[in-house]
Amino acid sequence: MTTSTTIPRTDAGKRDLLQHLSIQLPNYATLLEISATDLDQVQSSFDWFDYSLKVEQAAQRYTDGNYAFKRVLRDGPKSAAINPPAPLVIITPPTSQPFADIVGFLGSLIIRIKKHKNYTETIGKSLHIIPAQTPAPDPALLQPELTFDYNGGHPVLYWYHNGTDALVIEADYGTGSFGLVTIQMSTRFEDSSPLPLPGTLALWKYRAIYRIRDAQVGQWSKVLDVSVKG
């Protein structure tokens, strides 16, 4: 069994925990001697962090849409439909006072709660501040899932590490066979291989498998087909 951290690692997880505490913590404020100031800060932290993520998501959607629009304008094909990106939606910010270092505040608050004389495991579960117990994945069943976008016409691959040490990536550049391209310890790889001749298209194929220590584990990913243009 592996134990996750009390504070989630992802931004979405942090937002969910803040939202849950903003709803549930007032029910235990008297019992755990949580001040009104602390409750206000929890609520403000959720409001502003939620706002920042929504702004980030809206901006990313607009950026992605504009990038696709730009590529059609620049590269075609001539028969492609030209769809300008949807306007960027302006999100109204909260009216409360924002606080810096939300994670630091949240961590210290959770420690105070757990050290309180009235704290119980039942309260911890109710507040979602007891780390969840999850079984460790079976290495034999691990299978990477590759996704991609482009940077300057070159494919950029992404994946999750799933507790592994590295990822072996192989590619078929139209030869009909796969060959080793790289072994990556990060979760991003930009393929800088030469693009096709200007005005021509090519289909590049990728597959990957995880490594733990020096051994390959699990199963090869599904083959990812990526169209590239010179």
CATH of the domain at 209: 2.60.40.10
Q: What dihedral angle (degrees, nearest 10) is formed by the CA atoms of 25, 28, 29, 30?
A: 170
Nearest Cα residue to 208 out of 200, 219, 197? 219
What is the DSSP secondary structure assignment for residue 126, as one 8-state letter?
Answer: H
- Does 125 lie in the same domain as 12? yes
Instruction: Evaluate whether 157 touches 148 at the Cβ level (below 8 Å).
Output: yes
* Residue where a domain stops, chosen among 134, 163, 183: 134
Residues 24 and 100 in one domain: yes
E strand or H helix that includes residue 122: helix 121-127
Q: Clarify whether residues 6 and 106 are in a common domain.
A: yes
Confidence band of 53 (pLDDT split at 50, 70, 90): very high
Distance CA 114, CA 132 (A): 16
Residues 90 and 178 in one domain: no
Gap between the Cα atoms of 50 and 58, Å rounded: 12
Q: Residues 172-218: pLDDT tens digits?
A: 999 999 999 999 999 999 999 999 988 889 999 999 999 998 899 99
Contact 110, 6 (CB under 8 A): yes
Q: 31 and 54: one domain?
A: yes
- Copy the structure tokens of residue 155: 């494919």
Q: Which residue has the tokens 């192989």?
A: 170
Q: Which helix (H) or strand (E) holds 23?
A: helix 11-24
Model pLDDT for residues 93-117, shown as the tens digit of each residue: 999 999 899 999 999 999 999 999 9
Q: Tell me if the pTM is above 0.85.
A: no
44 and 101 belong to one structural domain: yes
pLDDT, residue 44, reads: 97
Domain containing 87 equals 2-134
Count of domains forming the chain: 2
Residue 71 is predicted with a pLDDT of: 81
For the segment 8-31, the average pLDDT, to the nearest whole number, is 94
Is 152 in the same domain as 119?
Answer: no
